[in-house]
Each structure stands twice: as C-alpha cells, then as structure tokens.
Amino acid sequence: MSADETQGTPLPPEENAGGATGAPGLTVPPSAPPPGPARSRNPLALVVVAVVAAGMLYFGFHMARRSESAARIMKSTPAPDFTLESLNGGNMRLSDLRGKAVVLNFWATWCGPCKIETPWLVELQNQYGSQGLQIVGVESGDDDKEDIAKFVREMGINYPVLLGKEAVGDAYGGIPALPETFFIGRDGKIVDKSLGLHGRDEIEDAIKKALNTEAVKSDASAQIMGDMAREDGPARK
C-alpha cells in the first residue's frame, strides 16, 4: 500500500462539513457557541404544577374508593351500618331498625326532583308505617340546619331526617346524583335501589318487596325457640 492509501483521502477544505480543517482526512467539529445565561424557573409555576398533581392523585384515589364501594352495594348485600345525627337531636343507628323495612333516601333541599318525590314518601310512610315501614331521609347537600328544618316543615315530612356525612355517602357508592334511594329488607339486606326521580308506583313496588322480606331472628330469640322445642320434646304415645 502507498502512504496515501494508508492515511486515507483527506477531504478538501470546502468539503470539511463546515468544520475547520485539521489533520489530513479528519473533520474538526466547529467550536460550540458560548453558553447563554441560565433561565430561572418561575416558583409560582412549580407550585401550581405540584397542586394540580396532588389534586389529580387525590381525585383518582377518591374515585377508586367510590368505585369499590359501588361494586359492593348490590341487591341482597347487607346495607352498610352507620350512625348519624338527627335533625331533631340525638343519633340514629341504621341497625337499630332491623326488623323493619327501611327506605333510605339521600336528598338535598336544593334538589328539584327531591321536591317532587318527598310528598310521595310522606304518603307512603302514612300508608305502610303500620306494616313495618320506616323511611329515613339523609340530607346530603351540606345545607344549614335552618334551611333543612324549613324544608321539613314545608313538606310536612313525617319520618326521621339525618344530617349526612361524606363517609356514609361513600359507603353507599358515592351518591353520584340526588335523589338516590336504597330499599332495605327486614333482614338488613338491600332489595332494590334507584338513582334519580322514579314514579310513585315504582317506589311503592320496591317498598312492597322490602316489606315482604323476613326479619333475621337474633341469637337470643333462636336460643329461646330452641329451649322451648327441647322442653316440649317428642310426643309420648
């Protein structure tokens, strides 16, 4: 090989890809421009981004919890128990109503469909109360007690009104809209539920289903019945 072949063919200066010429066959990269001044970051923008990210995480976690709760709230499942403050003072616990058919109605004073539905619930409480029906209203609009009391008076509500809490709403699937109603049998299990305004006849049919369920006997009652059966014993010939 010749010396020229060993060293390669040097590029002409004009073909040196815009770079400076150096050793034969090499292209020297152009020198980098001097660095400009560093850009300062806006601290307010960083705070906004952090707040938005935290909000998205909280919203996602909250919605995941609601989805899990909604998946658990199905027909024939036990109604989640809770204790809430009553508008008239004192507390009410859902499980204390075991043995009755319960209509658990989530509503608010500003809810238009609730204003249509409430008079039906008043009538149905009067009609089926003697058969073991107990309607319970859970105010879920974060209204003042005065506004709630005014609504109760104007509507002539004849059943307990409880002051709702977010945790109770979440336990029942998040309450995506109002009104939302759960129909609970005498055994404490959900027999039906409705979201939004439904006709009076549909509500009455669901109430009848709840009334037609059988109450679960307590352990004490079962023990008494068992003792009575043993005392009677088999019939003697």
Between strands 101-107 and 133-139, the pairing is parallel
- Residue 229: both structure tokens together: 């059966």
Give the other-Cβ count within 10 Å of 57's Cβ.
10
Q: Are the C-beta atoms of residues 68 and 78 closer than 8 Å to each other?
A: no
Active site residues: 111, 114
CA 132 and chain centroid, separation: 30
Tally DSSP H helices, then E strands, for the chain: 7, 9
- List, in sequence order, every residue forming a beta bridge with 195; answer none if it has no partner: 180
Type and span of the H or E element at 79: none
- Residue 74: both structure tokens together: 């199905």
Between strands 190-195 and 180-184, the pairing is antiparallel
Give CA angle at 236 (235, 237), nearest 5°. 120
Choose among 168, 167, 170, 172: nearest CA to 190. Answer: 172
Alpha carbon distance 31, 152 (integer Å): 82
Backbone angles phi, psi at 36, to 5 degrees: -85, 180
